[in-house]
């Protein structure tokens, strides 16, 4: 039969099933092929409930599956008996008509579970806690207090109740109205009153009420003292800070924070881990109390309350930790399995919660206990050699203080016909101390189909022993198992296999192995109580190395200077012996061996011990030493000093060495140390450790002891696999020299004694001897003594039962940087405007200093005296800031500090900045700048260091060189165009009518200087850069500047010529005459030119402007010189040499007014061509053109 899928309903938390889900589940179960729920599961489970005595209650339990279903109830694990008061309803729910609260068995309080059973098995519900409504006496009563008028008052009361009581307050036995901003009543039972007045005086008490109870506290009086006339400054002080709180999910918590001070402090909240506070579920009650509703796991952390005096840096803080507990929830569910008989089934189940849940397994509602076939590894259930009785419903149970949760899966055992019967007549015979012969007979049924046998054996004594298996062929019916331990009992059984499956297991037989000589000697310890004796003590040999019962110890000793050996034989029940009558200040060698009934084992190596000097009467006595191997590479050294020792101990000296190697030490330890760990040792080696106390006079008596490190057992050494490594490593830097490391214990470890080794080293470390190894039995550790701002790699391994796990995955984390040790250097302040200064600085000295923020404090001298600083913050990458809104006539004081996430460094020396009055700033003085090195500077001078002066000089030199190169290039190019323009000008002047030179000069001068001319006038030695979208005109002397520009750059003009020719500039309106068949070119832009070039202007170039950038020019000429004016591209465009001798008639020309007066210009309409023709074309035009005359009668 195929297993049924697990219903989705169990994935939800208890009590969260939608109402329509039971009907849906029943419907799905009735439809074939949709989803088969024919096994057994719960639709409703009992929930926690609180009731009043004598009230009735119903605990729900609704199971679904194949009928018939029998439901029984358990209370605290015992079956509930029905009676007149307690009944099980037809739907499976438990009804209690009157809840009793008597002590003992009569009380109905407790944990209830329902057990549902049908033909497939049984399942157990989650636990439901039934509690009675109770209320205790007040644990905290309000206390009378006296408060100055305008101060704050606080009353508190506390009471325990179930369910939690609602607390209200009364003033003079009248309900206190709390709908006032200055009065806050917290749900925790705290009353806060701010700005206390005379009307608040009176008697206060709190009232705690539940559904069935109501209690009133004692009264406390509030006395209001009249306020003093003077109200001095008081720094902020928190009089009621937050308290550590442990709460459950979805509860509401209040973190109180009440502060006093003058002026009234501002209260703010933050998290110590710098995470943002949840604004959706958090709000502030009253004047600074933090309330978190619907608490979740992400709300856990340390909260910091900060009370700050407004406008200052005076503050105080208080903090508290919020711990959130969570009920168990599954992260991995067991799956239903179908397995053949004699197969293996593995169920895996993992859950999480706070605190960590305890895992257990149920079979048909009953708790499972480990045996030879069934193993439980915390959250893993393994069933070997499945038998028909294993067919059942299994439940994984996760439980902690917040509740329990269960998940189910079914194991279906498939039975097969024609399987062989079990092997019979199994018997065992001891061969030696490590071998047993096992023999059996073939199965009676289907023995000819057997293809192999499986031999299973395990130790008979103890719990959770590992079961071993050996598979052999079908050609033999006996087998010698030769890897057994001496003097141990073993249990054996046989299983026969055929192609269709396995048989049932045979009957079990038990047999013991013989004894053998001890595998190793005892570990001995040597101490002296006087200069003439040595106390020899030893520990029993571990059972795995004893190999039988020890009946005798042989003790041998001698002086190191003599070869004669004295031998003592002691009974096997003794564990110490005192050697007396020895020589003081002499070295003795001691060794020991143990014997069983078979014989003596190997003797230990000689252990040396020096007896004290005869004069060492007041020397410290030898400590009581105890060595214990923690794992294959680590030894724990513990000791205890004799309480009767009166010597003044300064400390301890520890020496250790491997057998046959050189001694290491001494390791100097403080007198308060009673524990030391030796790590980095070799496995399977014997180590000799000696310890002595010393005073300020001499060394004390020493204690010697030997110990052997176990082997690091791997998979090759045993069939038991190594334990898994720790997981979920989490590292967080606490300080600049420590990292907090946390990890989780592996899920499948059942050993009680577990130790961990932490490996820590900087990333990229080459010297392996510098790797730090630390030991602990906890799942967290603070690794200290690290370098600041250094990245470390950390790993953890687990040690249990002489087994070592692999190293966990490495986590990388960096220590925090150290707080800046020094202030920023090179602080400079420069006044760049009347009310603005620039402050600059350099990071603090030191290559390892990390800065994340700078704090700039500045204030005038008056504000500085009052302690009122203005604060600016800048990120660590920025080393300058602007100080704005400075007041003229004041002297400002500036200082800067650097900080990072660890802390803030010291402030720099104060730097003064004098802000001159406005009448002084208008003079020819330069801005004043001060720095931290020279706080007093003379006005009118810059103080530049050598690097700044050198940089400025180099920059100015480069700039002048670039300008000179540009001027030379412009002069060279303008000469080339001047020669080309001269040739064109000569051709044009031959066709012009003869006009007086003076008139021409005046007209040309007027046309060039006119701000309103229709076409810009360009000298032959000039060209226009029109492709770039500007009207810049450049000649051989440089750029020509417009008259209407606001700023005049006089780099290229002669100041004398400018002064002489300045009055000649004027605005002249233009007069234009039009003739039929001509073309008119009109420019709306202003033009300007150099007056010094107008007298030598041979002819106008009215149509010479490159208009490629104009969007309205249909026939724009293409240029090939990156926008410079090209004479070759405009050869077709020139003025006609034909001019009318008819006297011109002036008519107003609209659109030519440019602001300098009404411009008079007229062009007559042509008789022939249409005005719609292009005004600029590359095709040659007829000789007839339009001549526009300036008012000085110069043709344009």
DSSP structure string for 844-908? PS-TT---SEEEEEEEEHHHHHHT--EEEEEETT--EEEE-SPPTT-EEEEEEEEE-SS-EEEEP
**Which of 123-137, 692-706, 1059-1073 has the largest mean confidence?**
123-137
Query: Hey, what are 162's tokens?
Result: 């179930």
Which three-class secondary structure state does DSSP give residue 606? coil
Burial of 617 (0-12, 13-18, 19+ CB in 10 A): exposed
Tell me the average pLDDT across 1139-1150: 39
Per-residue confidence band for 396, with pLDDT thresholds at 50, 70 and 90: very high
Q: Which of 987, 981, 1003 is nearest to 1188 (CA)?
A: 1003
Would you state the pLDDT for residue 1005?
Answer: 41
Report the distance separating Cα 1196 and Cα 1015, nearest Å: 8
pLDDT of residue 169: 92
pLDDT value of position 1091:
38
Q: What local confidence, expressed as pLDDT, does residue 292 receive? A: 92
pLDDT band at 630 (very low <50, low <70, confident <90, very high): confident
pLDDT in tens, 579-610: 988 888 888 999 999 999 888 888 888 888 88
By the 10 Å C-beta count (0-12 exposed, 13-18 middle, 19+ buried), 260 is classed as middle
- Return the SS3 of 448: helix
- pLDDT attached to residue 1186: 39
Higher pLDDT, residue 81 or 768? 81
Q: Is the pLDDT of residue 965 over 90?
A: yes
Answer for the pair 5, 38: CB distance below 8 angstroms, yes or no: no
Which tokens hold the place of 302?
A: 């340390």
Phi and psi of 979, rounded to 5°?
A: -65, -35
Least-confidence region, from 708-722, 924-938, 1128-1142? 1128-1142
Structure tokens at 676: 């030391």
Predicted confidence band at 257 (pLDDT cuts at 50, 70, 90)? very high
887 in Cβ contact with 871 (< 8 Å): no
DSSP 733-792: EEETTEEEEEEE--TT---S--EEEEEEEETT---GGG-EEEEESSSEEEE-SPPTT-EE
Q: 853 has which bridge partners?
A: 875, 899
- 791-803 pLDDT, tens digit per residue, is 999 999 888 766 7
Residue 1002 has pLDDT above 90, yes or no: no
Q: What percentage of the chain exceeds 90 in pLDDT?
A: 16
pLDDT of residue 944: 52
Q: Is the pLDDT of residue 190 over 80?
A: yes
| The pLDDT of residue 1163 | 39
| Residue 145 scores a pLDDT above 70 | yes
Residue range 339-365, pLDDT digits in tens: 877 778 889 998 999 888 888 899 988
Q: What sign has the CA pseudo-torsion 1041, 1047, 1052, 1056?
A: positive
Res 788 pLDDT > 70: yes
Mean pLDDT of 461-474: 76
Q: Is the model's pLDDT at 184 over the cut of 50?
A: yes
Is pLDDT of 771 > 60?
yes
Nearest to 164 by CA among 247, 97, 243: 247
Q: Are 873 and 904 in contact (CB under 8 A)?
A: no
The predicted pLDDT at position 806 comes to: 81
End-to-end CA distance of the chain: 112
Distance CA 829, CA 506 (A): 96
Question: Residue 740: pLDDT band by 50, 70, 90 thresholds?
Answer: very high
Question: Which has the minimum average pLDDT: 695-699, 711-715, 804-808, 1012-1016?
Answer: 1012-1016
Residue 485, helix vs strand vs coil: coil
Alpha carbons 426 and 496: distance in angstroms, whole number: 13
Tell me which of 919 and 565 has the higher pLDDT.
565
Cβ-count burial 970-986 (b if 16+ within 10 Å, e if not): beeebeebbeebeebbe
One-character DSSP codes across 293-305 = -S--GGG-EEEEE
27 phi/psi in degrees, rounded to 5? -65, -45
Q: How many CA atoms lie within 13 A of 75 on its CB side?
A: 15
pLDDT (0 to 100) of residue 447: 78
Residue 930: the pLDDT is 47
User: Is the pLDDT at 991 greater than 50, yes or no?
Assistant: no
Helices then strands, each counted (H, E), the chain: 7, 84
Sheet with 727-735, side-by-side order of all strands = 727-735, 738-744, 780-783
Is the pTM value of this prediction over 0.85?
Answer: no
- Segment 799-849, tens digit of pLDDT: 876 677 788 888 999 888 888 888 999 999 988 888 889 999 999 887 677
Distance separating alpha carbons of residues 151 and 222, to the nearest angstrom: 12
Tokens describing residue 28: 């799905």
Query: Is a pLDDT exceeding 80 seen at residue 1080?
Result: no
Comparison of pLDDT for 543 and 924, the residue scoring more: 543
pLDDT at 418: 65
**How large is the average pLDDT for residues 609-616?**
81
Instruction: Give me the pLDDT at residue 1019, please.
Output: 41
Compute the average pLDDT of residues 896-914. 88
Instruction: Flag whether pLDDT at 246 surpasses 70.
Output: yes
Number of Cβ within a 10 Å radius of residue 881: 19
For residue range 522-548, what is the model confidence (pLDDT) as tens digits? 888 888 888 888 988 888 888 778 888
Give the model confidence (pLDDT) of 288-332 as tens digits: 899 999 899 889 999 999 999 888 888 889 989 999 999 999 988
pLDDT band at 1014, cuts 50/70/90?
very low
In this prediction, residue 1040 has a pLDDT band, given cuts at 50, 70 and 90, of low
What average pLDDT does this structure show over 431-443? 89
Instruction: Compute the distance between CA of residue 960 and CA of residue 287 in angstroms, rounded to an integer.
Output: 66
What is the mean pLDDT of the segment spanning 401-422? 82
Q: What is the mean pLDDT of residues 1065-1081?
A: 40
């Amino acid at each position: 039969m195929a297993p049924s899928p697990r219903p989705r309903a169990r994935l939800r938390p208890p009590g969260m099933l939608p109402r329509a889900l039971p009907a849906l589940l029943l419907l799905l179960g009735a439809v074939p092929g949709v989803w088969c729920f024919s096994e057994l599961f719960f639709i409703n489970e009992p929930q926690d409930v609180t009731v009043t005595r004598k009230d009735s209650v119903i605990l729900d339990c609704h199971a679904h599956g194949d009928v018939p279903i029998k439901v029984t109830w358990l209370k605290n694990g015992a079956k509930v008996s029905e009676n007149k008061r307690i009944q099980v309803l037809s739907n499976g729910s438990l009804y209690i008509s009157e809840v009793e609260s008597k002590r003992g068995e009569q009380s109905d309080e407790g944990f209830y579970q329902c057990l549902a059973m049908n033909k497939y098995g049984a399942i157990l519900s989650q636990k439901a806690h039934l509690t009675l409504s109770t209320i205790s006496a007040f644990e905290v009563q309000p206390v009378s207090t006296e408060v100055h008028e305008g101060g704050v008052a606080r009353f508190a009361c506390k009471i325990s109740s179930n369910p939690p009581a609602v607390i209200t307050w009364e003033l003079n036995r009248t309900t206190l109205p709390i709908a006032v901003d200055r009065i806050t009543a917290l749900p925790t039972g705290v009353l806060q009153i701010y700005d206390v007045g005379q009307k608040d005086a009176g008697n206060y008490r709190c009232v705690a009420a539940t559904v069935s109870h109501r209690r009133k506290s004692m009264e406390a009086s509030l006395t209001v003292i009249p306020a003093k006339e003077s109200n001095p400054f008081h720094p902020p002080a928190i009089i009621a800070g937050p308290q550590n709180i442990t709460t459950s999910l979805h509860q509401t918590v209040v973190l109180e924070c009440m502060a006093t001070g003058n002026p009234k402090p501002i209260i703010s909240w933050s998290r110590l881990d710098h995470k943002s506070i949840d604004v959706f579920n958090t709000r502030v009650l009253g004047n600074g109390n933090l309330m978190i509703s619907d608490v979740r796991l992400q709300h856990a952390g340390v909260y910091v309350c900060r009370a700050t005096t407004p406008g200052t840096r005076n503050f105080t803080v208080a903090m508290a930790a919020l711990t959130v507990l969570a009920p168990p929830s599954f992260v991995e569910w067991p799956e239903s399995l179908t397995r053949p008989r004699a197969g293996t089934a593995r169920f895996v189940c993992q859950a999480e919660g706070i605190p960590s849940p305890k895992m257990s397994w149920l079979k048909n509602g009953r708790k499972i206990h480990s045996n030879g076939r069934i193993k439980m590894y915390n959250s893993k259930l393994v069933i070997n050699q499945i038998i028909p009785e294993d067919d059942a419903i299994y439940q994984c149970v996760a439980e902690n203080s917040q509740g329990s949760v269960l998940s189910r899966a079914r194991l279906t055992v498939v039975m097969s016909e024609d399987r062989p019967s079990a092997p019979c007549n199994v018997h065992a015979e001891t061969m030696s101390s490590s071998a047993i012969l096992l023999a059996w007979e073939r199965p009676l049924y289907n023995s000819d189909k057997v293809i192999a046998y499986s031999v299973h054996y395990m130790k008979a004594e103890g719990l959770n022993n590992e079961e071993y298996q050996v598979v052999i062929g079908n050609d033999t019916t006996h087998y010698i198992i030769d890897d057994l331990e001496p003097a141990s009992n073993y249990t054996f059984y046989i299983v026969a296999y055929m192609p269709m499956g396995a048989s049932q297991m045979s009957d079990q037989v038990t047999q013991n192995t013989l004894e053998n000589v001890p595998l190793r000697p005892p570990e001995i310890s040597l101490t002296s109580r006087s200069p003439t004796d040595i106390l020899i003590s030893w520990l029993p040999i571990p059972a795995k190395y004893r190999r039988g019962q020890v009946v005798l110890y042989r003790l041998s000793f001698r002086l190191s200077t003599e070869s004669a050996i004295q031998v003592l034989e002691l009974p096997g029940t003794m564990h110490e012996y005192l050697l007396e009558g020895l020589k003081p200040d002499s070295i003795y060698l001691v060794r020991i061996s143990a014997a069983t009934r078979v014989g003596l084992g190997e003797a230990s190596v000689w252990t040396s011990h020096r007896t004290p000097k005869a004069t060492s009467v007041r020397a410290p006595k030898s400590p009581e030493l105890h060595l214990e191997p923690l794992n294959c590479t680590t030894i724990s050294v513990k000791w205890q000093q004799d309480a009767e020792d009166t010597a003044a101990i300064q400390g301890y000296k520890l020496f250790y060495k491997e057998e046959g190697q050189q001694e290491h030490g001494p390791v100097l330890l403080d007198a308060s140390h009673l524990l030391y760990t030796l790590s980095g040792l070799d496995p399977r080696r014997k180590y000799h450790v000696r310890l002595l106390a010393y005073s300020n006079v001499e060394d004390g008596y020493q204690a010697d002891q030997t110990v052997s490190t176990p082997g690091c057992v791997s998979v090759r050494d045993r069939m038991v696999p190594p334990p898994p490594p720790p997981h979920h490593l989490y590292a967080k830097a606490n300080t600049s020299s420590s990292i907090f490391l946390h990890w989780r214990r592996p899920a499948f470890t059942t050993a009680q004694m577990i130790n961990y080794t932490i490996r820590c080293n900087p990333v990229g470390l080459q010297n392996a001897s510098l790797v730090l190894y630390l030991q602990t039995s906890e799942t967290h550790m603070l690794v200290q003594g690290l370098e600041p701002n250094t990245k470390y790699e950390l790993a953890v391994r687990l040690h249990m039962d002489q087994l070592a796990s692999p190293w966990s995955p490495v986590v990388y984390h960096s220590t925090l940087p150290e707080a800046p040790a020094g202030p920023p250097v090179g602080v400079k302040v420069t006044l760049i405007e009347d009310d603005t200064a620039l402050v600059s600085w350099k990071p603090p000295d030191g290559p390892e200093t990390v800065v994340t923020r700078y704090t700039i404090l500045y204030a005038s001298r008056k504000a500085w005296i009052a302690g009122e600083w203005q604060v600016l913050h800048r990120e660590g990458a920025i080393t300058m800031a602007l100080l704005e809104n400075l007041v003229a006539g004041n002297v400002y004081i500036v200082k800067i500090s650097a900080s990072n996430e660890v802390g803030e460094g010291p402030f720099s020396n104060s730097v003064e900045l004098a802000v001159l009055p406005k009448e002084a700033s208008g003079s020819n003085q330069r801005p004043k700048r001060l720095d931290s090195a020279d706080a007093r500077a003379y006005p009118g001078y810059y103080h530049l260091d050598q690097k700044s002066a050198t940089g400025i000089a180099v920059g100015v030199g480069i700039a002048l060189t670039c300008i000179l190169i540009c001027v030379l290039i412009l002069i060279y190019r303008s000469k080339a165009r001047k020669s080309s323009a001269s040739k064109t000008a000569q051709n044009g002047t031959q066709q012009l009518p003869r006009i007086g030179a003076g008139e021409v000069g005046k007209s040309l001068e007027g046309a060039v200087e006119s701000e309103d001319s229709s076409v810009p006038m360009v000298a032959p030695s000039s060209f226009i850069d029109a492709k770039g979208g500007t009207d810049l005109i450049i000649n051989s002397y440089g750029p020509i500047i417009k008259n209407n520009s606001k700023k005049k750059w006089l780099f290229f003009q002669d100041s004398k010529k400018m002064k002489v020719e300045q009055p000649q500039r004027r605005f002249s309106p233009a007069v234009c005459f039009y003739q039929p068949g001509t073309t008119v070119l009109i420019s709306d832009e202003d033009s300007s030119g150099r007056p010094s070039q107008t007298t030598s202007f041979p002819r106008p170039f009215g149509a010479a402007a490159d208009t490629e950038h104009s969007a309205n020019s249909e026939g724009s000429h293409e240029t090939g010189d990156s926008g410079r004016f090209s004479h070759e591209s405009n050869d077709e465009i020139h003025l006609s040499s034909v001019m009318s001798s008819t006297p011109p008639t002036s008519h107003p020309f609209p659109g030519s007014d440019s602001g300098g007066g009404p411009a008079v210009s007229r062009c007559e309409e042509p008789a022939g061509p249409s005005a719609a023709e292009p005004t600029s074309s590359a095709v040659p035009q007829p000789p007839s053109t339009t001549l526009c005359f300036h008012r000085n009668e110069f043709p344009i």
